[in-house]
């Protein structure tokens, strides 16, 4: 049984995904969290095999939650889930050590496959974003976000997640 935690700030989404995922038979949602802070607290109490984490959430946000999970729970796999079909975001998330990236418009079987792949320590990208990544490599257009440093991308992600500079001492952001 693949013990899984679901992290999403929307109750309806968590409920629907729980029913969908558990119908697979070999995956059990053993914990749910409505925020990154809640997820990190629950992970200390109950380790899991795989965490499904929404990228866009209030509070510390999905990206920071993922970073903390990866640094504190290295045996826990992470599947990033998002409504955004964005090549740059996908590349950024995958470069953070996330093993799977699944868009919320993916077929149900892709989400189940992603969990199983991550449990086996394999990587997975949903078909729609994989196609977008492949096609972006063939375009002559230059993505302006590709020129950003890791820290610049981190600051941009924090801005997108609604984290203002009031959370940082002056000079640290």
> Is residue 67 included in any domain, yes or no?
yes
Determine, yes or no, domain membership for 12.
yes
Q: What is the domain range of residue 50?
A: 2-124
Domain-embedded: residue 136: no
- The answer as to whether 164 is a domain residue is no
Please check whether residue 161 lies inside any domain of the structure. no
**What CATH number does the domain containing 33 carry?**
3.40.50.2300
pLDDT by 10s per residue, the chain, length 173: 999 999 999 999 999 999 999 999 999 999 999 999 999 999 999 999 999 999 988 888 888 999 999 999 989 999 999 988 888 888 888 888 899 999 988 999 999 999 999 999 999 998 888 887 777 766 555 565 666 677 777 776 666 666 655 555 444 44
Among 13, 161, 88, 36, smallest CA distance to 51 is for 36
Domain count, the chain: 1
The pLDDT score that the predictor gives to residue 43 is: 95
DSSP conformation letters of 26-67:
SEEEEEEESSHHHHHHHHHHS--SEEEEESS-STTHHHHHHH
The model's pTM = 0.77
Residue 19 lies inside a defined structural domain of this protein: yes
């Amino acid at each position: 049984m693949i013990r899984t935690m679901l992290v999403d700030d929307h109750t309806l989404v968590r409920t629907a995904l729980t029913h969908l995922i558990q119908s697979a038979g070999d995956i059990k949602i053993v914990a749910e969290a409505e925020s990154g802070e809640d997820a990190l607290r629950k992970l200390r109490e109950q380790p899991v095999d795989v965490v499904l984490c929404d990228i866009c959430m209030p509070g510390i946000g999905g990206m920071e939650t993922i970073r903390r999970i990866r640094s504190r729970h290295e045996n826990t796999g992470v599947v990033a889930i998002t409504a955004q079909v964005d090549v740059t975001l996908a590349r950024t998330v995958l470069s953070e050590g996330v093993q799977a990236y699944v868009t919320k418009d993916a077929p149900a079987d892709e989400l189940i496959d992603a969990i199983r792949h991550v449990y086996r320590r394999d990587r997975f990208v949903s078909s729609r974003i994989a196609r977008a990544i492949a096609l972006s490599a063939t375009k002559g257009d230059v993505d302006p976000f590709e020129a950003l440093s890791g820290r610049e991308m981190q600051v941009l992600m924090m801005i997108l997640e609604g984290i203002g500079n009031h959370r940082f001492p002056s000079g640290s952001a």
